[in-house]
Structure formats: structure tokens, C-alpha cells
Structure 1
Amino acid sequence: MDTELLKTFLEVSRTRHFGRAAEALYLTQSAVSFRIRQLENQLGVNLFTRHRNNIRLTAAGEKLLPYAETLMSTWQAARKEVANTSRHNEFSIGASASLWECLLTDWLSRLYQAHDGLQFEARIAQRQSLVKQLHERQLDLLITTEAPKMDEFSSQLLGHFTMALFCTSASSLKAELNYLRLEWGADFQQYEQGLIASDDIPLLTTSSAELAYQQLAALRGCTWLPVSWAKEKGGLHTVTDSMTLTRPLYAIWLQNSDKQSQIREILKADTIA
């Protein structure tokens, strides 16, 4: 199907006049008539009734109209997407909400400054979902605190960051506070032992550091946060009888990714932690 034929059909159906349709399409009237005949021959039906200057859609033309509008709309959307892909080199980066909020936002800004030609997609999801997307080539790069466990993945240690247990009141002890569980990955659970009883449930469980931060005072809670981020937020104090932790940060990608050169450029340009 020639989309130009559908475009001409839609213009004639809108103007109900071959001459005006020709003017709108920058064609001769004979060219418009020829295109309509071509479309009618392809479909094997008449699309318009022609009585002097009174042009109307036939029953077949009325049925074709919504399909033609949908097809042209889809074609325009497809052209736009393809054009965007050709103009921009899309690159998707996935991480948990807490990593984006606490560590990766400034890094993403620096990536834009260093790579004018790239169009980034910042994807937020749980690590398990992102690993699946990476494996299925729906994601280019994963930033996580857990080392890769599959042989088909390559990885690079980006650095380390320090975490501490924070609350909003000074000189507070763990026993005096409600634990708010901010999800930092499966391998972080060992550090949470002792904060709550084995049969207890955290007062709040979330993947968002910002949300946990906002609820600390109201719930008289404590939660694990990166020290650098907590200092920027202000109004937070470390829990008196708690320790600090050092956590790694990895970049993970498919060994046979077709964006190896871009990954190398991105990872050598700047450090996150």
C-alpha cells in the first residue's frame, strides 16, 4: 500500500473537492484523480460518487476512512520514531529508585555534558527485573550494589559509598526507633539483622530513599542511607549505637552487547561513587 494514495484519499474526503485537494497536496487535479483511481483499483471498489461538483464517499469509502486515518497516524508515528533513532544514539541505564535518588542523578547530568550525541533513558525497577531486561537486550547498562552472578555479564567496579543508619533526632538508640526498611538489594539483608526481631515487620518498606526520608520524623524511624546524600538533605543524625557500612557499586552489561564502545566511553568518563 502506497501511503501517498491514502493521504490523497483522506484529503479528498476532507475537502470533497478534487481541485481543493490538489491545491492542499501541491499536485495537479489529474494527479489526484489518478491516485484515487489507483487506490480504487487496488481495493476493487469505488470510493467516491462523482456528480458534477458533488463528491461523496461511497459506503466502501466510509468504511475505509477510519482505517486510512489510523494507518496514516501509525505511519507518521513510525517515521518520527525512526527519525529520532537516527538522530540520537539511545542508551538505557537501569537502577533501583534509591540508587537514582541518592547517587546517580548528578552522574546522569555529567553524562549529558560529556556525551552530546547520546539520548539516555533512566529506567527505575527492582534489580531482578533489570537483570532480566539486560539479559533480553532491553537494557544497555545496569548500576547495582551486587556483583553479577551470570557468566554472560561483564562488570566494572565503579567505586564504593558509605552508608549509615539515620534518624531525625540526635542521640537516639536503635531500640528507641522504628525501623524503616529501604531496599538496597538481597545481599544487604545481612546488615539488617539485629535491627528488628525475627518475627517483627518494619514499619515501612520502600524502594524510594526520598519517601523513607520524608517519613523518618513522622514515624520516629531510622533507615540506612548513603552518608553523602544524608548530609545534603540535612536534619539527619546517625543512630548512636549503629555502625557505618561501605558498599560497592557495579556497572553490569552483556558481554556481547552491541554497544560496547559506548559503554566503555561512559564508564571511563566519570566515576559515580
Structure 2
Amino acid sequence: MDTELLKTFLEVSRTRHFGRAAEALYLTQSAVSFRIRQLENQLGVSLFTRHRNNIRLTTAGEKLRPYADALMSTWAQAKKDVALALQHHELSVGASTALWEGYLTNWLKSLYTEYDELHIEARVAQRHLLVKQIHERQLDLLITTEAPKMDELASQPIGSLNLALFRSKNSIEGEKNRYIKVEWGADFQYHDEYLAEINDSYLLTTTSANIARELLGSTNSCAFLPDYWDQRYPDLIKVENSPLIPRTLYAVWLQNSDHLQELKQLIDVPVSIS
């Protein structure tokens, strides 16, 4: 549907006069008449009755008018939103729940300190879904601990993190801790190693580090969490003799992305806990 035809229809229905509608639209009267005939041919109905200078909407014309108003309003909003998106270059950034909770929220704060005009959509999903969204150009940037090895994707280290095994200070001293498995990536092998040591299975699997932290005390459990969280949460304590696990964070994007210049701004700001 040509929106100019609807625009002309609405102007004629408002003025009830082809000449005045032509003046308002900066068209000739014959051009207005031609557009109305085009619209009538497309719809297969007459939209106006014409008796000398007395122009009235037909029943079909009355039915069309609210739809034409709604379509023109929607089209105007669409043009506005598209222009706004082009103006502000909204970028979508995706990562797992645990990474957002432990590290990337602070990174966003750093980004907005550096570039206060950024418009970012922060997405939370599992890594394989986010990789798919990048391929489909629904996501601009992925932050992950596992850089996909695909020719069409580019990646770059953007920071590092350390994970430590925590329990609650309220845990029963001397009693064996159960285990909560926080999803830190498919290549995180320390779950199985720890479970083998305690000869037990995990109590819960979750993508949220905060959920695991909340449950440690009430379930007498332990979990791998960001190593600085004992400074943030006084109720946490590191399990004695447990390993400190270093992980590299990667930024991943399409090599032929339409927003390479804007993505470089994000990638140049390292991920840190401060």
C-alpha cells in the first residue's frame, strides 16, 4: 500500500474538496483525483460520491478512514523510531546471567562514564542462543569465556575474572558442604573435579550466581563465585585450600558487522570489578 494514497484520501475526506486537498498537499487537482482513483482501483470500491462540489464519503470510505488514520500514525512512528535508532546507534550486548551479575554491570557503568551518549540493550541468555543471534544479526556483541571458533566471527580478550569456591559463614562447621553448580561455561571443568573430591552430586544447577549465593547458608552448600564477592558480601567465606580459577573474557562480533566503529568503543573499555 502506497502511504501517499492514504495521505491523499485522508486530506480529501477532511476537506471534502479536491481543490483544497490539492493545495494542502502541494499537488495539482488532477494528481489528487488520480491518486484517489488508484486507491479505489486497489480496493475495488468507490470511496467518495461526487455530485458537483458536494463530495461525501461512501460507506466504504467511512470504513476505511479509521484504518487509514491508524496506518499513517503507525508509519509516522516507524519512521521516527528508525531515525532515532540510526541517530543513536543502539547496540545490543549479550552475556550469561552469571557474567552480568558478577562482572558486566560494572563494565556498563564504565562504558557510560566514558561514553554518556551510548544506547545499549543488555541481553541475558545462554551462550549458544546468543551465538545464534549474532549470526542472525539480532545481537551486536557477545561477552563470553568461550570464544567461538568460526570464520565469520571475530573475537578479542576484553578482560579476565577469577572464580573461587565459597561457602556461607553460617555453614555448619565441620560438616561436609553440598554443592551448587553455577553455569560458568561448557568448558568449566572444576565442577566435576570438586564433586569427585567430596564424592557427591550437585544440589542445584543455576545460571545465576546471585541465586547460588542466596542459597549457600540455608542449604549448607558451596559454589564457585566471583573471587571478590567476600568483599561485597560479608556472609561469604572462601573454602579452605580451594583453587582460584582464572578465566579470560572475550568480546565476540560479526566480522562484517554494520557497527564496527561503535563496537570498537565498547571493546576498548576493559572489563574490571572496580
Following the alignment from structure 2 to structure 1, what is the Cα–Cα distance between the partners of residues 2 and 134?
38
Residue segments in structure 2 that go unaligned for 5+ positions in a row: none
Structure 1 residues 169 and 234, CA, compared in 2 at 3 Å: closer, same or farther?
closer
Q: Which residue of 2 aligns with 1:41?
A: 37
Q: Per-residue displacement from partner, 1:52-78 (whole Å, max 9, x unpaired)?
A: 9x9864232244245424422431232
State yes or no: 1:217 paired with 2:217.
yes
State yes or no: 1:72 paired with 2:80.
no
Structure 1 residues 71 and 267, CA, compared in 2 at 3 Å: closer, same or farther?
same
Following the alignment from structure 1 to structure 2, what is the Cα–Cα distance between the partners of residues 203 and 57?
71
State yes or no: 1:235 paired with 2:231.
no
The sequence identity of aligned pairs, in percent, is 50
Q: Which residue of 1 aligns with 2:191?
A: 192
Q: Which residue of 2 aligns with 1:167?
A: 167
Following the alignment from structure 2 to structure 1, what is the Cα–Cα distance between the partners of residues 140 and 26?
52
> Displacement, 1:29?
11
SS at match of 2:83: helix
Contact 2:170 2:235 in 1 (8 A): no
Q: Which residue of 2 aligns with 1:256?
A: 256
Residue segments in structure 1 that go unaligned for 5+ positions in a row: none
Contact 1:163 1:225 in 2 (8 A): yes
Q: Which residue of 2 aligns with 1:6?
A: 6
> Displacement, 1:7?
4.1
> Displacement, 1:28?
5.6
CA RMSD of aligned residues (A): 3.6
Q: Which residue of 1 aligns with 2:145?
A: 145
Structure 1 residues 159 and 3, CA, compared in 2 at 3 Å: closer, same or farther?
closer
SS at match of 1:249: strand
SS at match of 1:247: strand
Structure 1 residues 260 and 39, CA, compared in 2 at 3 Å: closer, same or farther?
closer
Following the alignment from structure 2 to structure 1, what is the Cα–Cα distance between the partners of residues 94 and 203?
28
Following the alignment from structure 1 to structure 2, what is the Cα–Cα distance between the partners of residues 244 and 117?
37
Following the alignment from structure 2 to structure 1, what is the Cα–Cα distance between the partners of residues 66 and 202?
54
Structure 1 residues 105 and 41, CA, compared in 2 at 3 Å: closer, same or farther?
same
Contact 2:130 2:139 in 1 (8 A): yes
Structure 1 residues 173 and 70, CA, compared in 2 at 3 Å: closer, same or farther?
farther
Contact 1:98 1:184 in 2 (8 A): yes
> Displacement, 1:127?
0.8
SS at match of 2:228: helix
SS at match of 1:138: coil
Structure 1 residues 170 and 69, CA, compared in 2 at 3 Å: closer, same or farther?
same
TM-score under structure 1 normalisation? 0.78
Contact 1:174 1:195 in 2 (8 A): no
Letter of the 1:144 counterpart: T
Following the alignment from structure 2 to structure 1, what is the Cα–Cα distance between the partners of residues 9 and 88?
34
Contact 2:159 2:270 in 1 (8 A): no
Q: Per-residue displacement from partner, 1:12-63 (whole Å, max 9, x unpaired)?
A: 76x7x749xx8xx9x76998x98874553121433245799x9864232244
> Displacement, 1:105?
0.7
Letter of the 1:239 counterpart: V
SS at match of 1:217: helix
Contact 2:230 2:238 in 1 (8 A): no
> Displacement, 1:115?
2.2
Q: Per-residue displacement from partner, 1:157-215 (whole Å, max 9, x unpaired)?
A: 22322111112226767962232221111001x10014446996533222122222222
Structure 1 residues 35 and 70, CA, compared in 2 at 3 Å: closer, same or farther?
farther
Which shows bigger deviation, 244-253 or 216-225?
216-225
Equivalence map 1:86-165=2 (5 Å): 86-165=86-165
Following the alignment from structure 1 to structure 2, what is the Cα–Cα distance between the partners of residues 174 and 254?
51
Contact 2:170 2:217 in 1 (8 A): no
Structure 1 residues 138 and 119, CA, compared in 2 at 3 Å: closer, same or farther?
same
